[in-house]
Amino acid sequence: MLNGALIGCGFFAQNQMHGWAGIDDVTITAVCDRDSAKAEATATRFGARAYTDAAAMIAAERLDFVDIATTVASHRPLVEMAAGAGLHVICQKPFAETMADAHAMVAAVDEAGKLLMVHENFRWQSAVRAAIAAVRGGAIGTPFFGRVTFRSGYDVYAGQPYLATDERFIIQDLGIHILDIARALLGDVVTISATARRVNPKIRGEDVATMLLEHEGGATSVVDCSYATRRTPETFPETLLEIDGDLGTLRLDAGYRLVIQLEGEVIRDVAPPLLAWAERPWHNIQESVQIIQQHFVDCLREGREPETSGRDNLKTLALVEAAYASARDRSRIDVRGW
């Protein structure tokens, strides 16, 4: 049995609590939020003890790990606190505000001899996992081009109003996921060039971004993100893919249709299940939460590094930082030094 605690009881953290409840031999014994009402409500809902101070909770509870679901500014002190207490850590994205903070967190958990995983859940959506498995398994040969796209007009600000007030928005909040999927499909990145703009006058940050990536293996990919796109039917929150290989083409189309074209065409329905606690259209993201948490638990029990470890996420964070620099300076950036 693994005992864990959740730090942060906001909007998305409820999905994480449901996810933990669906994993065998894992118990979330305590939750913490500086807002006592949120902490108490989550604790009551899931049968845990409520705290408003993370240090007090860690000292009082017998824990194996913490799940950090707070906003990014608090990640470094909380990760370092958990590492100092000898705990494994799974931390929400964006992992860090700066590359220096990210490196410090990775070092702290390494020094403690524990595992650190970033909750980079988009690549763990079952439809995206099916596409990744097909590409890695050689279904279309060696990839040379990819397009990873997420375009929507869905009102994400209603549930997470802080998204409208952040100085940096779509690349940091959504693009980080889409860039990570591009890495998972086509490998690490050599160069990036990006454009970004704000279409919605009611928000502070950018809500449209397009990025061109050159990957180490020679493939090129286009990563594009928008929360200003009006489309019918609305495809939120689906990530759509098109990957060209030297033997064929793979597409993940709207409606969770995975299409592989070689000499003929094979179409698979890779729609995620609607878990008992999930709701449309969020169900693909909600299912991915439980999948990524199961991976974290498997890695703890088997003593192996998670696929989306803190160390791996440094490469995705570097792409985010380089994308902002590229968009600002209208430049092409070699990310290998970042």
The full set of domains in the chain, from first to last, is 2-114 (3.40.50.720), 123-337 (3.30.360.10)
What pLDDT, on a 0 to 100 scale, did the predictor assign at position 125? 97
What pLDDT, on a 0 to 100 scale, did the predictor assign at position 268? 97
What pLDDT, on a 0 to 100 scale, did the predictor assign at position 109? 98
Q: Which residues contact 230 (CB under 8 A, 6 or more apart)?
A: 153
What pLDDT, on a 0 to 100 scale, did the predictor assign at position 162? 87
Q: Do 313 and 95 form a contact (C-beta atoms < 8 A)?
A: yes
What pLDDT, on a 0 to 100 scale, did the predictor assign at position 137? 97
Q: How far apart are CA 107 and CA 114, in angstroms?
A: 10
What pLDDT, on a 0 to 100 scale, did the predictor assign at position 307? 97
CA angle, 228 then 196 then 253, to 5°: 55
Give Cα separations from 54 to 20, 81, 168 (angstroms): 19, 9, 28
Residue 257 tokens, joined: 């249709």
What pLDDT, on a 0 to 100 scale, did the predictor assign at position 338? 86
Q: Which residues pair with 212 in a beta bridge?
A: 193, 222
What pLDDT, on a 0 to 100 scale, did the predictor assign at position 337? 85
What pLDDT, on a 0 to 100 scale, did the predictor assign at position 36? 98
- Tens digits of pLDDT across the chain (338 residues): 999 999 999 999 999 999 999 999 999 999 999 999 999 999 999 999 999 999 999 999 999 999 999 999 999 999 999 999 999 999 999 999 999 999 999 999 999 999 999 999 999 999 999 999 999 999 999 999 999 999 999 999 998 898 999 899 999 999 999 999 999 999 999 999 999 999 999 999 999 999 999 999 999 999 999 999 999 999 999 999 999 999 999 999 999 999 999 989 999 999 999 999 999 999 999 999 999 999 999 999 999 999 999 999 999 999 999 999 999 999 999 999 88
What pLDDT, on a 0 to 100 scale, did the predictor assign at position 242? 98
